[in-house]
A and B are shown apart, each in its own frame.
Chain A
Amino acid sequence: MILGWRLTDAERREWLERLLGSGRRVVAPTRDGGLLLFRPIASPDEAVLDYGNTRWSPKEHLFPRAEELFSYRLTADEVKLEQRAPDAVEQVLFGLRPCDAAGLARLDSVFLDGAPDASYAERRSRTFTVSLACDSARPECFCTAVGGSPGGTDGSDLQLVHLDGSWLLRALTDKGVQLVETVSALWEQATDEDWAAAKECQRAVEEEIARTPLAAEWAGVLDGAFGHPLWAAVGERCLGCGVCAYVCPSCSCFDVDDNGSAFCGTRCRLWDSCGFASFTKHASGHNPRPDQPSRYRQRVLHKFAYYPLEHGSFMCVGCGRCTVLCPVGLDIQQTVRRVVEEALA
């Protein structure tokens, strides 16, 4: 039995109003400088919910582009290190697409498994995710090729489905239930027919996306195709600009650097990309990945071979942002298909 409700648009708006009034930070798709981006909103009207996808994924609200790890200050014979206290405000990521929510689940596996990353874990623990199922597809969408779907729930605490002018709201985790507990008693329970209609709608979107799934066993094929000559031919086109990594909902590589003088400053964590020439360059000048094809291959193999062989899912959620924004039109999904096809030929 699915736990969920059917909300009118007015009820949905009122709920958002309540969330804003509860002292939580609500981060939703909104217009910012001509782009649609996840930004904190001040009123329900600022949330744009009839959208394809945002330019950037919402990952920066859990894994910021630049983040202070601590500050340092040198005095006569001492060094003072200080950590800024977390802002401790609960945040609600509202209206993210299922692919982006799945991207957060990938980040969780990187930053929370094994040796948890303190600042990510702290931010994650006070973050709620309300995803928004897709009722249409964009040309670049390929979630269905990488194990996702327009109504995928991976990484979501709650999910909204737009259905005939009203909204279905499905609770998926205890955190999700917690986020609606003061209001859900006022809402009408969604019926089996509602969920069946939602499912039908998502099936139609899946058909629209029309992608053949990448087989799980391709991870092993790709891993074994490290030396395939096709990498050089395809990767030669890559400019190493890194835009793919920056807009990616699951890319998690970072650098740590000091910002300041020898007397005071901060140590920061910054996004990085395996596509950059300096990413693996040793101080000696030796670079294990000395050319762009070897760096492009790393990006593809990390997402489609190394990560899946360890975690069981691709480290790509099929949002298609990298494909749209790549200045030379590299399509990661097509690359995977081509390499596998040739490796198996």
Chain B
Amino acid sequence: MNGFLPHLMRIAELRQETPDVRTLCLEFADRSVASGFEWRAGQFALFSSFGAGECVFTIANPPTRGGRIECTFKRLGKVTTSLERLSTGELVGFRGPYGNSFDVEGWRGRNLVFVGGGIGMAAVAAPLRYVLDRREEYGEVVLLNGARTVPDVVYKDEMQEWEAIDGVRVVRAVDPGGEEPGWKGEVGLIPAVFERLGLKPDGRTVVVCGPPVMLHFMLLTLDKLGYSREQVVTTLENRMTCGVGHCGRCNVGRFVVCRDGPVVTAARLNDLPEDL
């Protein structure tokens, strides 16, 4: 079986989240694939536009919302530019799922904080949606979403639905200078806003996904606030080609992101070399 041969998926729906971020909702062209298709929150896949190539995105919808596959991506390179040109009804390639997943079962009963910076919000989406779909199994949920500017905020409509849920607090933040008249959210970089929230570490799990520089400063802030690195989880977003540990591209020291990750505790990050 050629592992590089993708499934074909049809774009059932698309949402322009921001001027350069789009969400695709995909359905398997071959319906018989859909029924047996399983994945876990946090796993990723390779999405392709024929003629442009493949790109790794996290699967943004959790298995509690099966039947479709969603991905949210930012137009940056060749593949994302090509994918963004596609319309509803067109076909894309999909292979996966790959990698490990969030320990959503192990989080039962805990208070959870999700921190998503920029397009990193897509990586937070699957575990967050999973938790919200099984709301009664978890404690208090806080979402801190950061974007550069107000127009860059993703999942705007859904965020309103989330904050209406009992026991869920949504905090929106934009970088200084990114605010607009009438902006009711926070202004500040994510680590600073997180600190202002005054969340005590006890019994919490923190999921942090975002650009490497944000992750770096968030970890320092969490250390300062007394969070242990065992209670902090992130995803590594290295470039990957194959998804199965062969192509040699995504390793951080001995840690092969596609095989051993992408989900990793901050404690595990301590053991990895500064090759991020």
Using CB atoms and an 8 Å cutoff, list the residues of chain A in contact with chain B: 69-70, 72, 74, 77-79, 81, 83, 110-111, 114-115, 117-119, 223, 226-227, 252-258, 260-263, 265, 267, 269, 272, 274, 279-284, 286, 288-289, 294, 298, 301-302, 305-306, 309-310
In the complex, the answer to whether A119 meets B2 with C-beta atoms within 8 Å is yes
Say yes or no for B239: interface residue by CB 8 A criterion.
yes
B148 to chain A, nearest CB (A): 12
Residues on A with C-beta less than 8 A from B212 are: 286, 288
In the complex, the answer to whether B2 meets A70 with C-beta atoms within 8 Å is yes
In the complex, the answer to whether A283 meets B51 with C-beta atoms within 8 Å is no
SS class, residues of chain B in contact with chain A: loop
B residues 1-35 in Cβ contact with A at 8 Å: 1-6, 8
Q: Known contacts A74-B50, A81-B8, A227-B273: does B2 contact A262 (CB below 8 Å)?
A: no
In the complex, the answer to whether A257 meets B77 with C-beta atoms within 8 Å is no
In the complex, the answer to whether A283 meets B77 with C-beta atoms within 8 Å is yes
Q: Known contacts A256-B4, A256-B241, A284-B211: does B273 contact A302 (CB below 8 Å)?
A: no
Residues on A with C-beta less than 8 A from B76 are: 283-284
The chain A residue sitting closest to B5, CB to CB, is: A70
Give the CA-CA distance A284 to B55 in the complex, in Å.
13
In the complex, the answer to whether B50 meets A288 with C-beta atoms within 8 Å is no
A120 to chain B, nearest CB (A): 9
A119-B2, A227-B273, A262-B51 known; 4 new pairs, CB 8 Å cut-off, are A78-B91, A254-B247, A255-B247, A288-B238
In the complex, the answer to whether B2 meets A69 with C-beta atoms within 8 Å is yes
Closest CB pairs A-B (n = 9): A253-B248, A283-B76, A262-B51, A283-B77, A226-B273, A69-B4, A115-B244, A72-B50, A258-B53
Q: Known contacts A258-B52, A258-B53, A286-B212: does B4 contact A269 (CB below 8 Å)?
A: yes
In the complex, the answer to whether A288 meets B246 with C-beta atoms within 8 Å is no
Residues on A with C-beta less than 8 A from B237 are: 282
Residues on A with C-beta less than 8 A from B93 are: 79
Give the CA-CA distance A256 to B213 in the complex, in Å.
28
In the complex, the answer to whether A77 meets B252 with C-beta atoms within 8 Å is no
Contact of A118 among B1, B50, B52, B275 (CB under 8 A): B1
In the complex, the answer to whether A115 meets B3 with C-beta atoms within 8 Å is yes
The chain B residue sitting closest to A115, CB to CB, is: B244
